[in-house]
Amino acid sequence: MTKVTRSEIEEFLFEEADLLDKWRLPEWLSLFTDDAEYHVPCMDLPADASPDDSLFYIADDRMRLGERVKRLMKRTAHVEFPHSKTRHMVSNVRVKEREDENIDVTSVFATYRTKDGVTDLYVGLSNYVIRQVDGAFKIRSKRCLLDSDALRPSGRISIIL
Amino acid sequence: MNSAASANRPAVLVDQDKHVFKVSRRNFIDPDILSMEKERIFESNWIYLGHGSELKKPGDFVTRSVAGRSILFTRDASGTPVALLNTCPHRGMQVCRERKGSAKSFQCFYHGWVFGLDGKLRSQPGEDSYDADFKNRESSHLTPVPRFEGYRDFYFVCFDRNIQPLVDYLAGAKDFLDVICDQSEEGMSIVKGTHEYSVRANWKLLTENSIDGYHASTTHASYFDILMQSNGGANFRSGAGRGYDLGNGHAVIQGQAPWGRPVADWIPAWGEEGKKEVDRIYARLVERFGEERAFRIAKMGRNLFIYPNLIINDIMAIVVRTYYPTAPDYMVVNSWALAPLNESAWSRKYRLNNFLEFLGPGGFATPDDAEALEHCQRGFSNYEDVPYSDISKGMNKENPSSADELQMRAFWMQWNKQMFPESAKAAKIKAA
């Protein structure tokens, strides 16, 4: 197993953020493994809660994540049509390699969403499990833990965090 | 304040003969209307507080802001649910500052007063500086909510002491609550995790939206695409549902839908394992209630509105949703997933999976609803020239369907009666 550096991981996360901000969502989706998960738990749950027995905001397996992307690219995803402007800021990246092929990565995020004259801010911690597949990084799981007490005043997580 | 419903522009305009039902858009934007609502709606009706399953044992508590009031919901030593106003009788501080937890007593940290789970003052530092009778005075204890009652583990508060008992207030909604609760023999429970969000729109728009069968095919087109194509099998069927006025402002739409229901309506996407489980649940319902009621419980869904601000939508999953205005154009929403206590791991997983696909701020449907509501609110800026919204769909029918607007008219008639009793009377005379 080759050692990965923080700057390699950072470059990967910055690329992910850039694809999201450019609404190149099908390309963004290709960063995920076939068994990937994307989770946003409710803020009154412990960080390791399971969506099998607790209510989340988002608990996508790879199939639903694909549906999410497909939906967001349609005009009938009214909340995101026309597309909002987003800016995903990624910082405080820390990398911890495991014995197996997985790399644990934590980062903090501040994501701005602007639409119809209103700018909302989402702040929190992301827990990633990243793998190297054929020399490229792939996301096995991404869990975003929001710091706010509630989705107020944003009211929705209609973009991808 | 009654000028808000000036004679030439009543808040609700009804002409039964001509099938006219119009709601003034001023009702959504006027700060005077909001302050009237605080007194005539939110202080005068039974308002949902929480579910008994959120408090498993004596001392378990949640604190909640309900209709602008700070409330401590707990169980006393005997296990009886209690609703206390969360304010210290001494100087007013919120005695409990945690959102939820378990306690033996509640201590106000400001001066150290300690209250029992029943709200009674137990001790305060420097007791010898107080009158010998101090602890025997009602004003020395935490104040219970003026009225507090439950029905099938749904607990409500009311700030008007003279309100009718909850069970009478529920009127026809009681039967629908029974149908929902009868899904489980052991009782229903709130699943861990709360959806806490907001919508930049008037709260009454969410009442309308939550019982609106008309908007689904356009607002939620992208959800139905997913349901029909990607999931490999929903149930296609016709047979439109019905809308019902349940009295006292409560209303419901009920009918069959294409999605699966863990209790108990199988869809091909759930495979053989799911079929076994759903068949088992259905068979037990038939045993308990007979075929007809079992069918209604399991195969039909319902969007139940309990006046003025509680929604229990028993659809692909069950959402319990309550909402309060903090400004004419801003509402706070709290919602929970309700499920049979002790259901199987399979049922719970598929239920929550169903829930998230459609419901909540990260789902494939609720954000589009919020978008619609917020743009209605923006459209109301044209109130002066376009003063009314139309809620007349289905007035020309004997039995309005769930895609008609009877259920919204039930809400608005009660709202109008409580807000503008005089003009509501006049509207009735005209209607008759």
Span B282-295, mean pLDDT? 97
Over 50: is that where the pLDDT of B1 sits?
A: no
- Tell me if chain A has a CB within 8 Å of the CB of B162: no
First to last CA, chain B: 28
Q: CA angle at residue B71 from B148 to B158, to 5 degrees? A: 30
Both B359 and B278 in one domain: the answer is yes
Residues on chain B touching A76 (C-beta within 8 angstroms): 221-222, 225
Whether B24 maps to a domain, the answer reads: no
Give the right CATH number for A6-146 from 3.30.70.360, 3.90.650.10, 3.10.450.50, 3.40.50.10950. Answer: 3.10.450.50
- Tell me if chain A has a CB within 8 Å of the CB of B198: yes
Count of CB contacts below 8 A, A vs B?
Answer: 126
Whether B32 maps to a domain, the answer reads: no
Provide the whole-model pTM. 0.94
**Alpha carbon B391 to chain centroid, angstroms:** 21
Both B310 and B408 in one domain: the answer is yes
Both B377 and B289 in one domain: the answer is yes
Please indicate whether, in this complex, the C-beta atoms of A52 and B348 are within 8 angstroms of each other: yes
The pLDDT, as a whole number, for residue A98 is: 83
Both B277 and B401 in one domain: the answer is yes
Q: Are B219 and B375 in contact (CB under 8 A)?
A: no
Please indicate whether, in this complex, the C-beta atoms of B352 and A49 are within 8 angstroms of each other: no
Distance (Å, whole) CA B331 – CA B316: 25
Over 60: is that where the pLDDT of B198 sits?
A: yes
Cis peptide bond upstream of B81, omega within 30:
no
pLDDT averaged over every residue in chain B? 93
**Where among B166, B185, B218 does a domain terminate?**
B166
DSSP labels, B188-217: EEEPB--EEEEESS-HHHHHHHHT-SSSHH
B238: left (phi over 0), alpha (psi -120 to 50) or beta: beta
Both B140 and B181 in one domain: the answer is no
Note down the domain range covering B103: 47-166
Work out the minimum CA distance from B190 to partner chain A, whole angstroms: 10
**How does pLDDT run across B101-134, given as a tens digit for each residue?**
999 999 999 999 999 999 999 999 999 999 999 9
**Where among B133, B166, B199 does a domain terminate?**
B166
Nearest to B362 among A53, A66, A157 (CB): A157
- Tell me if chain A has a CB within 8 Å of the CB of B229: no
**How does pLDDT run across B325-360, given as a tens digit for each residue?**
999 999 999 999 999 999 999 999 999 999 998 899
Residues on chain B touching A54 (C-beta within 8 angstroms): 191-193, 352
Beta bridge partners of B13: B22
Span B424-432, mean pLDDT? 61
Distance (Å, whole) CA B194 – CA B165: 29
The pLDDT, as a whole number, for residue A2 is: 60
Whether B17 maps to a domain, the answer reads: no
Both B136 and B175 in one domain: the answer is no
DSSP labels, B232-285: S---------EEEEEETTEEEEEE--SS-BTTTB--GGGHHHHHHHHHHHHHHH
Show the tokens assigned to B417. Answer: 């009666």
Both B202 and B181 in one domain: the answer is yes
Work out the minimum CA distance from B17 to partner chain A, whole angstroms: 37
Both B180 and B123 in one domain: the answer is no
Please indicate whether, in this complex, the C-beta atoms of B349 and A151 are within 8 angstroms of each other: no
Nearest to A45 among B192, B336, B364 (CB): B192
Work out the minimum CA distance from B22 to partner chain A, whole angstroms: 27
- Tell me if chain A has a CB within 8 Å of the CB of B329: no
The pLDDT, as a whole number, for residue B339 is: 98
**How does pLDDT run across A8-18, given as a tens digit for each residue?**
999 999 999 99
The pLDDT, as a whole number, for residue B223 is: 85
The pLDDT, as a whole number, for residue A28 is: 98
For chain B, give the percent of residues with pLDDT over 90: 86
Please indicate whether, in this complex, the C-beta atoms of A77 and B352 are within 8 angstroms of each other: no
Distance (Å, whole) CA B206 – CA B209: 5
Query: Could you tell me which chain B residue has the CA closest to the CA of A39?
Result: B362
Please indicate whether, in this complex, the C-beta atoms of A44 and B197 are within 8 angstroms of each other: no
Work out the minimum CA distance from A99 to partner chain B, whole angstroms: 31
Over 90: is that where the pLDDT of B70 sits?
A: yes
Over 70: is that where the pLDDT of B231 sits?
A: no
**How does pLDDT run across A46-87, given as a tens digit for each residue?**
999 999 999 999 999 999 999 999 999 999 999 999 999 999
Nearest to B356 among A59, A78, A151 (CB): A59
Please indicate whether, in this complex, the C-beta atoms of A152 and B194 are within 8 angstroms of each other: no
Distance (Å, whole) CA B198 – CA B209: 15
Whether B72 maps to a domain, the answer reads: yes
Q: Are B227 and A72 in contact (CB under 8 A)?
A: no
Residues on chain B touching A79 (C-beta within 8 angstroms): 367-368, 370-371
How many structural domains does chain B have? 2
Work out the minimum CA distance from A8 to partner chain B, whole angstroms: 31
Q: What is the CATH number of the domain that holds B129?
A: 2.102.10.10
**Where among B114, B136, B166 does a domain terminate?**
B166
Whether B283 maps to a domain, the answer reads: yes
Q: What is the CATH number of the domain that holds B230?
A: 3.90.380.10
Residues on chain B touching A78 (C-beta within 8 angstroms): 219, 368, 371-372
Please indicate whether, in this complex, the C-beta atoms of A79 and B367 are within 8 angstroms of each other: yes
Distance (Å, whole) CA B152 – CA B203: 26
